[in-house]
Amino acid sequence: MGGKKFLDADTCMFPVPPVMVSCTSKDGKKRNIITLAWVGVLSSDPPMVGICIRPTRFSYKLIEEAGDFVVNIPSEGQARAVDYCGMVTGGAKDKFKECGLTAVAASKVTSPLIQECPVSLECKLVRVVKDYSRSHHLFLGEIVAVAVSEGPGGIDMGKVKPIAFCNGEYWGLGKLLGRMGFSKK
């Protein structure tokens, strides 16, 4: 194998998890779904996630105003809705209606869950970091509840079939390669 080719600085980290973040206004009259792929787990104690949003996006002000959001993890069968919710503004369209998705009440936040998503993380907004990027702001959310589709045990990745986003493409995750710690056995 030859040497490496050097490219200009770019967001070449992949795969990243495309998620549908649902949110609402403080009075509950407006709601939206925004697709984000620049998201991640930040801490386990307390459980925290980070989501990056452009200040110009419709959901930005809703999340700031309500002080919470829900990170919904979609499955392979929801790739079209994932793409749509990232390409169309919620200021002009009801994405729940347009995508045939069901908004249901969360247990600890005002923002709705997406019923059809197999996993939903209810988050309280802890802080917005605005001074690290010219394009996006980082929303820090504490996970206060997790909702999963009914079934035996915990989260079954074989049934969830989460998707990955890689350089503008949506991919299925494929097969299990091992469980944490398998290299030490």
Residues 54-71 pLDDT 10s: 999 999 999 999 999 999
Rg (CA), the chain: 17
User: In the prediction, which pLDDT does 57 show?
Assistant: 95
Per-residue pLDDT for 1 more than 80? Answer: no
Q: Which of 6-15, 25-34, 88-97, 149-158 has the lowest mean pLDDT?
A: 149-158
Please state, in angstroms and rounded to a whole number, the distance separating the CA atoms of residues 167 and 18. 12
Cα angle, residue 10 at apex, residues 7 and 13 outer, rounded to 5°: 105
The answer to whether 39 and 71 are in contact (CB under 8 A) is yes
Task: Kindly report, residue by residue over 71-110, the tens digit of the pLDDT.
Answer: 999 999 999 999 999 999 999 899 999 999 999 999 999 9
Enter the tokens of residue 25. 């206004």
User: In the prediction, which pLDDT does 151 show?
Assistant: 65
Q: How far does Cα 130 stand from its chain's mean position?
A: 19
- For 76, 100, 118, 124, 145, the CA distances from 54, given in Å and listed in that order, are 26, 26, 26, 19, 26
Task: Kindly report, residue by residue over 131-185, the tens digit of the pLDDT.
Answer: 988 899 999 999 999 999 876 667 777 788 899 999 899 999 878 778 888 888 8
Strands (E), the chain: 19-24, 31-36, 39-44, 47-53, 68-73, 103-104, 113-114, 119-129, 137-148, 163-166, 169-172
Segment 103-124 mean pLDDT: 97
- For 40, 90, 129, the CA distances from 138, given in Å and listed in that order, are 11, 20, 5
Mean residue pLDDT of the chain comes to 92
Superfamily name and number for 19-184: Electron Transport, Fmn-binding Protein; Chain A (2.30.110.10)
Phi and psi angles of residue 50, each rounded to the nearest 5 degrees, phi first:
-125, 135
> What is the pTM assigned to this prediction?
0.92
